[in-house]
Structure 1
Amino acid sequence: MSETLDLPPTSTAPTGVTSPATPAVRVEGVTKRYGQTVVIDDVRLELPTGGVTALIGPNGAGKSTLLSVMGRLLGADEGRVTVAGLDVATTKGDVLATKLAVLRQENRLDIRLTVRDLVAFGRYPHSKGRPTADDLVHVERALAYLDLTDLADRFLDQLSGGQRQRAFVAMVLCQDADVVLLDEPLNNLDLRHAVAMMGRLRDAARELGRTIVVVVHDLNVASCYADTIVAMSQGRVVASGTPEEIIRPELLSGIYGLPIAVHELDGQRITTYYC
């Protein structure tokens, strides 16, 4: 069974992407264990400032765990992570929240909120619960950015799974942090909305100067929308580079354990695979 995806126009690297010599995120020898099981094994990685970075790899590769350690949702057993030069483990939460925003893979709330109320939570690191006129402008801008303006006054439990996912991404973007970590942001999205979501994230990296890091399973999403791809397997980083460097049949076939072909289509590298 082959995998295909509607393709965006061929893109160039966004303005503002810099050399890994000045990384937005630096991972230094990070190891994470659950009991005797090592799920991240001495990961060393530098992610460039600006643009979209995609973390790819099979289930159990350590992608989500690594993202959680980057975002201080989990603590590392060894090593450290810095974001914009700040140690995520020791920096005060309110300071770190102005530099780093994180969206978990699963998001649940025990209170009934409208979409606008949820998105407004993204301003808390700046407003401390007392939103200003500027905060409200950011909220309306984030709603419009994710095509949620018409849904702004609906309660979250009145939305589809895909609409809720877009609302949570809008909240994270509204935080206005330099680095945004998103764990599987395409969950519950159909093809059209998945393409639109990745386009919005790419635009946010270019137009708003954000560094966007996403965990994705679709290799063609990574190939078409990411500026940098990090390929993981068995808790380690196997390779990191541009789509041209990572979307190669021999590399991907070795990581995923099945034959993967790579085709050039309208300047994009597109993968197909057969079980």
Structure 2
Amino acid sequence: MKLEHIHKKYADNFNLQGIDLEIERGAFTAFIGPNGAGKSTLISIMSRLLPKDEGCLYIKGQEIEAWDNRELAKELSLLKQTQQYQVKLTVAELVAFGRFPYSGNRLTPDDQVKIDEAIAYMELESFRERYIDTLSGGQLQRVYIAMVLVQDTDLILLDEPLNNLDIKQSIAMMKILRNLVDELGKTVIIVIHDINIASQFVDNMVAFKEGKVFHSGKVKDVMTKEILDALYDMSVTLIDVAGNPICIYH
């Protein structure tokens, strides 16, 4: 995915200004930065949920506006930070939604194989007939990831998937996302506020501030004290998942 000079304006204020970015294929990329920096807005534009005002966004060399809806859904999947389902669904029924771009409402035997594989991969076999409103936050997030998996896209966009998860669940989720890249060859992009957790799992980071790309690169290039202090306008201390201070910056 390649972004060229992406602009988005709300009323009299620019939310995104001149975003130029290329997402590394087969890598795990984190969007970081303070609230209001434009991270979630950009994810919505990248998934075509929100129209851009200016610029171009290419997926496999084709501008995103030129993609057919169903074909785009086979290339790119999105998990927003809030999901609401008003009907009573089992885990298996919710996961099956991911096959809609391929078969609509008529699941084929091949679709069922994909559904079974995703449920197994996310270790949800014992939950498949449970209703989703009976699950814990961590269990439900695994179901959502299974639904994304069954959509079988190369690109996976996740908008703050660690919201409402405790530290143990957050680490478990990041391990799962890391495995999607390493084991399945997915390209994963995540909006995340916990830079301590992000730094230990992702390959690349893009730091946003005031609607612009503040800095981007490999983790070691972004996670420096100078960059983080300037990004958040404060002195930043980094810790590992066990709560111990870490110094990967100079």
TM interval, shorter chain, is over 0.9
Count the aligned residue pairs: 247
Q: Corresponding residue for 2:37?
A: 61
Q: Is 1:205 aligned to residue 181 of structure 2?
A: yes
Q: Corresponding residue for 1:133?
A: 109
Q: Is 1:250 aligned to residue 226 of structure 2?
A: yes
Q: Is 1:90 aligned to residue 66 of structure 2?
A: yes
Describe the SS at the equivalent of 1:39: strand
Give the letter aligned to residue 25 of structure 2.
T
Q: Corresponding residue for 1:21?
A: none
Structure 1 spans left out of the alignment, 5+ residues: 1-24
Shift in Å, 1:70: 0.3
Shift in Å, 1:167: 1.4
Question: Structure 2: how far apart are the matches of 1:196 and 1:86?
Answer: 35
Per-residue CA deviations over 1:52-85 (Å, capped at 9, x if unaligned) read 0000001111110011100011000111212222
Runs of 4+ in structure 1 deviating by more than 6 angstroms, as ranges, are none
Per-residue CA deviations over 1:95-151 (Å, capped at 9, x if unaligned) read 111111111111111222111111111111122222222221221221222232211
Give the letter aligned to residue 10 of structure 2.
Y
- In the superposition, relative to structure 1, how do residues 235 and 142 fare at CA in structure 2: closer, same or farther (>3 Å)? same
Equivalent pair of 2:216/2:222 in contact (CA under 8 Å) = yes
Describe the SS at the equivalent of 2:142: helix
Q: CA RMSD in A?
A: 2.1
Q: Corresponding residue for 1:43?
A: 19
- In the superposition, relative to structure 1, how do residues 141 and 271 fare at CA in structure 2: closer, same or farther (>3 Å)? farther
Give the letter aligned to residue 48 of structure 1.
E
Q: 2:135 aligns with which of 142, 159, 166?
A: 159
Equivalent pair of 1:243/1:269 in contact (CA under 8 Å) = no
TM norm structure 1: 0.84
Shift in Å, 1:190: 1.9
Shift in Å, 1:264: 9.1
Bigger shift: 146-155 or 69-78?
146-155
Describe the SS at the equivalent of 1:143: helix
Question: Structure 2: how far apart are the matches of 1:167 and 1:190?
Answer: 17
Q: Which has the higher helix share?
A: 2
Q: 2:52 aligns with which of 76, 97, 105?
A: 76
Q: Corresponding residue for 1:236?
A: 212
Per-residue CA deviations over 1:35-64 (Å, capped at 9, x if unaligned) read 112111111100110020000001111110
Per-residue CA deviations over 1:197-239 (Å, capped at 9, x if unaligned) read 1111111111111100000111122211111110111110011
Shift in Å, 1:271: 6.8
Q: 1:219 aligns with which of 192, 195, 202?
A: 195
Describe the SS at the equivalent of 2:176: helix
Question: Structure 2: how far apart are the matches of 1:167 and 1:34?
Answer: 34
Q: Corresponding residue for 1:4?
A: none
Shift in Å, 1:160: 2.2
Question: Structure 1: how far apart are the matches of 2:113 and 2:245?
Answer: 39
Equivalent pair of 1:220/1:269 in contact (CA under 8 Å) = no
- In the superposition, relative to structure 1, how do residues 139 and 62 fare at CA in structure 2: closer, same or farther (>3 Å)? same
Give the letter aligned to residue 196 of structure 2.
N
